[in-house]
Structure 1
């Protein structure tokens, strides 16, 4: 399941650099923000810079665990009660007692753990994705694809965060 870290290939280096670049852009959107600004809904969307960092952290951790252990057979059925909806929404914002610094620290911790997996896991191992309304059964992803998916998610949400940040105070990641 793992490879010797000394055999770090160009492909692994590429994945690490690509993921690192998009993590940088996401973290850059938070640079210099107060907790209040990081939790500001500055567009029509309910998204915030702090909430996006929290969300990307959770998504990365979930997919990293999938890369190690595979997924369950099926996504559990969920009844969308007001409590379930509120808990879901809390994944996209800083809640009472949470800080931007804390969200960034957790992101760094998860990122470091994922980087170790990129360096050591067999990229060719495949796991079946859980059956879900949006995913038919019988679809398999390689560990390589999981890491590319984490990168795509990070890049997409870094773009969202950039728009939100630009609306707050004009700062842009690029340009």
Structure 2
């Protein structure tokens, strides 16, 4: 039963990782990098951030350091938000390639350890955790950022959906999205007395 649970947890995490990368498909360098919220949220930065958290939680916490980390990894604690955006000299291929290498490293940790294997999270005051808890935490974390990416991507070009295989939305040619938007806007205005 434990192996089945670990398999399912790993699959949910991988699905959210792939959904996040899918949000980058077909965009130019500007759209991948441009900040679309007041806090600077951008698609490539979300991928870079998720790479760093994956490394920390599945590597550092279980004493399985990631080989050949990028130069910015050690600066995360001292340079605020360094992992939340891509510098002009960081290529999209380098960042997405890093994320895929991180998956391999993290998946090796997941495969090698039992769900009840203990690790320590230094930034949680050294709290002892299990691999199972970290799998749950990282699935929630990655899904949260995949959701951010979904909204950012929709803002850029209208592309939305759950993942490459299943948009989880009615097709645009079968649903009147502008009419739906207008209906929601009118409901908001009515509720606000406008």
Using the size of structure 2 for normalisation, the TM-score is: 0.70
The unaligned stretches of length 5 or more in structure 1 are 1-7, 71-83
Match of 1:173 in 2: 161
Which one has a bigger Cα radius of gyration? 2
Q: Give the whole-Å Cα distance in 1 for the aligned partners of 2:100 and 2:161.
A: 19
Provide, for residues 70-105 of structure 1, a one-character-per-residue CA deviation record: whole Å limited to 9, x for no partner.
Answer: 9xxxxxxxxxxxxx4xx3233111102112222111
Q: Give the whole-Å Cα distance in 1 for the aligned partners of 2:125 and 2:109.
A: 27
Q: Give the whole-Å Cα distance in 1 for the aligned partners of 2:92 and 2:146.
A: 15
Alignment match of 2:109 (pick from 96, 114, 117): 117
Q: Give the whole-Å Cα distance in 2 for the aligned partners of 1:168 and 1:125.
A: 42
Match of 1:90 in 2: 82
1:54-93 paired onto structure 2 within 5 Å: 54-69=48-63, 84=78, 87-93=79-85
Match of 1:127 in 2: 119
Q: Which runs of 4+ in 1 moved over 4 A?
A: none
Provide, for residues 125-146 of structure 1, a one-character-per-residue CA deviation record: whole Å limited to 9, x for no partner.
Answer: 223433x6xx466x42111111
Q: Which moved more, 1:55-64 or 1:121-130?
A: 121-130
Q: Give the whole-Å Cα distance in 2 for the aligned partners of 1:107 and 1:169.
A: 24
Q: Which moved more, 1:21-30 or 1:47-56?
A: 21-30
1:1-175 paired onto structure 2 within 5 Å: 9-69=3-63, 84=78, 87-130=79-122, 135=124, 139-174=127-162, 175=169
The number of residues matched between the two structures is: 150
SS in 2 for 1:124: coil
The unaligned stretches of length 5 or more in structure 2 are 65-77, 163-168, 170-194
Provide, for residues 51-85 of structure 1, a one-character-per-residue CA deviation record: whole Å limited to 9, x for no partner.
Answer: 00000000100111134229xxxxxxxxxxxxx4x
- C-alpha root-mean-square deviation of aligned residues, in Å? 2.2
> Would the alpha carbon gap of residues 51 and 151 (structure 1) be closer, same or farther in structure 2, given more than 3 Å must change?
same
Q: Give the whole-Å Cα distance in 1 for the aligned partners of 2:125 and 2:45.
A: 29
